[in-house]
Amino acid sequence: MASVVSHQAIGTLQSHRYLHDSRLHQELRSTSVKLTNGFIFSNGFSRRGCYCSSSRNFTVIQSSASQTSVFDPVKAPSKSNASESRKKSNEAALILIRHGESLWNEKNLFTGCVDVPLSKKGVEEAIEAGKRISSIPVDTIYTSALIRAQMTAMLAMTQHRRRKVPVVIHNESEQARAWSQIFSEDTKKQSIPVIEAWQLNERMYGELQGLNKQETSDRYGKEQVHEWRRSYDIPPPNGESLEMCAQRAVAYFRDQIEPQLLSGKNVMIAAHGNSLRSIIMYLDKLTSQEVISLELSTGIPMLYIFKEGKFIRRGSPVAPSEAGVYAYTRRLAQYRQKLDEMLE
């Protein structure tokens, strides 16, 4: 069964790699802001690669944003009432998923920014993750530029009860955008934009990439390799430290993803162990010492509720048939009820 769904999802990834209608693309752009600190890009920016920062200064900035209702249309308040409206805003869901096991995870190799697909077990983990979030609203999907994260997102969405189709947004030429327009409003309503961002890539492991982890420990010593893998500010040779990874991942989250939550969009992020640890450090206000002991399992979704400018961790949904996760908020319970009614 896993292999069948895998082929379906990969087919979706290949056959739907086109842009939305330019009006929808413009709508997404209008809800985002430009990165400061030297970065300028749009939601559609995608690059297969990895960013290494030359600076190691990183400060966790507390969230102060809020959002509008998940179910009500986003209303544009007058300038005089904008601040007050945000204070009274409701909630949005944020789902974080670390990709399933990759072929190099299976072989115990350092992977980093090398673009390696999921293993058979990883496909099964992604499908299981999708079942766990199948009754939680998803309006926008963010993935890294690496195929294992994209496969995880696509496979997970094959299990969602809403049955919307993920459509990848690219930064392409004017000709490609013209060719890829969608002319059906009904079809667009049944689509979910997927935004790829290299800033969400795994930490770049430099000269360790492709090496066997056990053989590397034997060569350099267990303590040295542990320091490279688990310290906050010490990078492997010609690679990134967790601190450097956090600089790009958290900056992207704050400037591109948080505004989506602010506008009432429910967001899913499919990414990697270190980029997600960096984001969780920001969400949970962890110290550099606390984050190095944080472990994330592959294919296990983590749910947060973004409400009144605060991120509230709700844990991992157990299964779509169990009501516990939906009882966390009235909004999630209402959404699940609407799905039940729609699918009866």
Q: Which amino acid is at 92?
A: A
273 assigned to a ligand binding site: yes
204 assigned to a ligand binding site: yes
105 assigned to a ligand binding site: yes
99 assigned to a ligand binding site: yes
103 assigned to a ligand binding site: yes
d(Cα 205, Cα 95) in Å, to the nearest integer? 26
331 assigned to a ligand binding site: no
205 assigned to a ligand binding site: yes
Annotated catalytic residue 202: yes
d(Cα 152, Cα 301) in Å, to the nearest integer? 11
106 assigned to a ligand binding site: no
Of the candidates 29, 274, 321, 331, the one whose C-alpha atom is nearest the C-alpha of residue 159 is: 321
229 assigned to a ligand binding site: yes
100 assigned to a ligand binding site: yes
User: Which of 99, 160, 170, 272 is flagged as catalytic?
Assistant: 99
Instruction: Give the gyration radius of the chain's Cα atoms.
Output: 20
79 assigned to a ligand binding site: no
- Non-local CB neighbours of 127 within 8 Å, separated by 6+ positions: 2, 5, 155, 156, 158, 159
User: Which of 202, 240, 243, 258 is flagged as catalytic?
Assistant: 202
The two structure tokens encoding residue 124: 């099964």
29 assigned to a ligand binding site: no
Of the candidates 251, 306, 285, 283, the one whose C-alpha atom is nearest the C-alpha of residue 90 is: 306
66 assigned to a ligand binding site: no
101 assigned to a ligand binding site: yes
Q: Are strands 310-315 and 302-307 parallel, antiparallel or unpaired?
A: antiparallel
Bridge partners (DSSP) of residue 307 are: 91, 310
| Burial track 81-100 (b if 16+ CB lie within 10 A, e otherwise) | eeeeebeebbbbbbbbbbbb
Distances (CA, A) of 216 to 3, 192, 235: 33, 42, 15
d(Cα 69, Cα 45) in Å, to the nearest integer? 28
Backbone conformation region of residue 145, classed left if phi is above 0, alpha if psi is from -120 to 50, else beta: alpha
User: 118: which DSSP letter?
Assistant: B
202 assigned to a ligand binding site: yes
130 assigned to a ligand binding site: no
Sequence ranges of the binding site: 98-105, 111-112, 148, 202-205, 213, 229-230, 273-274
Known catalytic residues are 99, 202
Sequence ranges of the binding site for substrate: 98-105, 111-112, 148, 202-205, 213, 229-230, 273-274
